[in-house]
Chain A
Amino acid sequence: MMPPPDPGSKVAEMDPEGRPEVHRSEATSADAPAGGLRQRITGEPPTAAESEPQPEPVTAPAVQVEGLRAFYGDSMQLKGIDIEFRANEVTAIIGPSGCGKSTLIRCINRMHEEIPGARAEGRVLLEGADVYDPSVDVVAVRRAIGMVFQKPNPFPTMSVFDNVAAGLRLTARRRENLNQKVEKALRGAGLWDEVSDRLGQPGIGLSGGQQQRLCIARSLAVGPEVILMDEPCSALDPIATLRIEELIAELKQRVTIVIVTHNMQQAARVADRTAFMLSGELVEVGPTQTIFTKPADSRTEEYVTGKFG
């Protein structure tokens, strides 16, 4: 499955905290935030981390994609996609390069249209509401549907604290309890223990894996209900990757997760359901186990067994 971590690797030395300790990560999840959503619904102020009980799972919304077609200029990149991302599940999207995986998730939070000349048609339903409805504010959509990118990209001018707070400051959310909210997001991303003593230092001074968890904390701080991850581990070493994968398993208690990955082992490890895409079309989607062992489509079987791609 996963390649064994190279004990002599530089990153492993730099990130000793990244070791996959099951007990430790459980302790982290105990004081992880109950998500901005629950707090927003209940209006409860966040309790002290030590006394907070195991967070109850929060029901996150499902995402339905209906007849989605995406274009770059005149060329059609997505040729009519219908798929459901189930609530509180991790759905992995796999497929060869250029098949439209990233385009699909970028259409869900309407980041696709930020590229000059790009546009999308069809419906993306969040709790039944179409995010492409003309009455919808694109900025509000992105607060509800967070995104983590391929390369860790903390804001270079900001400290660790400010990076996480940026999510709240830039969106002009209520700023009371900023310290608590930042701590909560950092705990939620499993990063608090590693950075609590250097919150004032630059975010880009962290290791690659820590930077990516910082980016996850930054998007968690805004309180998203869905998190889209675009190959979040492709720039990370195996140990940092494992930390992110553990985090994904924790996060799905509170959010719906869609993860694009080139790594089929990763899909097998983290995803409840897996979707296989090819040339802008969805070939099939189903329970991860089924996709990897008894796929319905022969193209899926050829891909997962390594015959192409």
Chain B
Amino acid sequence: MSSSPRAAERTLARFAPSAARRRRDLLARRIVLVGTILALIPLVLILYYLLSKGLGAWSPSFFTSDPTGNTFFGAAKIGGIKSAILGTIEMVALAGAIAIPIGVGVAVWLVEYGRDGWFAQTVRFFTDVMTGVPSIVFGLFVYIALIVGTGSSYAAYKGSIALALLMLPIVIRAGEVVLLLVPDSLRESGLALGAPRWRVIGSVVLPTAVPGMLTGMLLAIARAAGETAPLLFTAAATHETSFNLGGFMNSLPVQIYSDVTSPTAAVVERAWGAALTLVLMILILNMVARLIARRSRLA
């Protein structure tokens, strides 16, 4: 049975959207577009100000000299941010070395052993609560526990502990999500070969999850690198480059915080330069994380 061209026309007309629906569709699209543009405005402005004010502070000596603390004799004498960059890298690296093994361990336990038991659910609940705790509270906790409590002084490693506490819930949650993506069929075939569970986890589950895990870890590191509050009264602020994790240590966020309140224009400009440096460091970490995530074999 062949259909006539007229029948086809009638069917097409029946499938065509009505004028009212086209109007609603257009309106909805425009609302969504306006919302997106509004959200982009502050982002673009931040980047614009960072670049316009921060680039002026940049010079080779900006990255290779420590701040002098001498703020009254113009831009030439105030020094750079070398100690802050190195301090941030050192403290965040130590924080990662503390938080990542513990966090991965918790994630493995939650997914592979705790599952839906009451203790696992309790751990999940407190992890979620920890994610929402303001960063200054972690700083305060370490200040009271390790500085006031022990009657000792500020130290870089105490700052790292505060940062590690901040990173821990992010690492646990990211790790758990990725481990849940590893198909159960892989665990089953490992177990069916006669492999003990811990070997299946170590040789099959974790290697499959590594790319996704790395993404979560790098995001946690990026988050910690930008935090001021946990370091303010744990690692203190100082000028000299230090490789002693037991002593005072400078960091980019703390340096920005103290510089931006200075009455000297050159010092405020240094804060912008430091802020641009920090944003670029975090941007690079995020890009690396995305690159690794794209290579991941899990969805």
Name A's B-contacting residues (CB within 8 A).
109, 111, 114, 116, 139-144, 146-147, 149, 151, 153, 155-157, 166-167, 169-172, 204, 215, 218-219, 222
A114–B200 contact, CB under 8 A? no
> Across the interface, do A222 and B297 meet the contact criterion of CB distance under 8 Å?
no
Using A153-B185, A157-B210, A166-B204 as known contacts, list a sample of 4 further A-B pairs with CB atoms less than 8 Å apart, ordered by residue number in A. Answer: A142-B191, A146-B193, A149-B189, A166-B193
**Inter-chain CB contacts under 8 Å: number:** 75
User: Could you jot down 14 A-B contacts, CB within 8 Å?
Assistant: A111-B192, A114-B187, A140-B194, A142-B191, A146-B192, A153-B183, A153-B189, A155-B189, A157-B204, A157-B208, A157-B210, A170-B190, A170-B193, A204-B297
Main secondary structure of the interface of B (DSSP, over half): helix
Residues from chain B with Cβ under 8 Å of A140 in the complex: 194
Q: Determine how close the nearest CB of chain B comes to the CB of A290; give it in whole angstroms.
A: 32
Which A residues are in CB contact (< 8 Å) with B188?
Answer: 111, 114, 149
Residues of B within 8 A of A141 (CB): 194
Report the Cα distance A157→B191, complex, angstroms: 17
Complex alpha-carbon distance, A276 and B80, angstroms = 81
Q: Which 7 residue pairs are nearest across A and B when measured between Cβ atoms?
A: A143-B194, A170-B195, A147-B192, A142-B194, A157-B207, A153-B185, A167-B193
In the assembled complex, the Cα of A143 lies from the Cα of B196 at a distance in Å of 11
Q: Is B27 an interface residue (CB 8 A)?
A: no
- The reply on B30 being an interface residue by CB < 8 A is no
Q: A219 — which chain B residues lie within 8 A by C-beta?
A: 192-193
Q: How far is the CA of A147 from the CA of B185 in the complex (A)?
A: 12
Are B189 and A169 in contact, with the CB atoms below 8 A?
A: no
Measured in the bound complex, the distance between the Cα atoms of B297 and A156 in whole Å is 8
Inter-chain CA distance A156–B187, complex, in Å, is 12
Nearest CB on A from B118, distance (A): 13
Across-interface contacts of B189 in A (CB, < 8 A)? 147, 149, 153, 155, 215, 218
Give the CA-CA distance A219 to B191 in the complex, in Å.
Answer: 11
B192, A169: Cβ atoms under 8 Å? Answer: no
Q: Does B77 make an interface contact (CB < 8 A)?
A: no
- Which listed residue (B186, B193, B210) contacts A142, Cβ 8 A? B193
Instruction: Check B192–A153 contact: CB distance below 8 A.
Output: no
Interface flag for B199 (CB, 8 Å): yes
Known contacts: A170-B200, A170-B203. The answer to whether A149 contacts B185 by CB under 8 A is yes
Q: A271 CB to closest chain B CB, in angstroms?
A: 21
In B84-109, which residues have CB < 8 Å from any A CB?
none
- Interface check B294, CB cutoff 8 A: no
Q: Does B128 contact A (CB under 8 A)?
A: no
Please indicate which of the listed interface residues A109, A116, A141, A156 has the most CB atoms of chain B within 10 Å of its own CB: A156
Q: Which residues of A contact B199 (CB under 8 A)?
A: 170-172
Contacts of B185 in A (CB 8 A): 149, 151, 153
Closest A residue by C-beta to B182: A156
CB <8 Å contact, B191 and A155: no
Q: Do residues B186 and A109 form an inter-chain contact, with CB atoms below 8 A?
A: no
Please, how many angstroms separate the alpha-carbon atoms of A141 and B204 in the complex? Answer: 20
A215 and B200 alpha carbons, distance in the complex (Å): 16
B200 close to A109 (CB less than 8 A) = no
Distance from A70 Cβ to chain B, minimum over Cβ atoms (Å)? 16
Is there an interface contact between A142 and B208, defined as CB atoms closer than 8 Å? Answer: no
Which residues of chain A have C-beta atoms less than 8 A from B196's C-beta?
139
Instruction: Provide the residues of chain A in CB contact with B200, threshold 8 Å.
Output: 170
Residue ID in chain B nearest A173 by CB atoms = B194
Minimum CB–CB distance from A156 to chain B (whole Å) comes to: 5
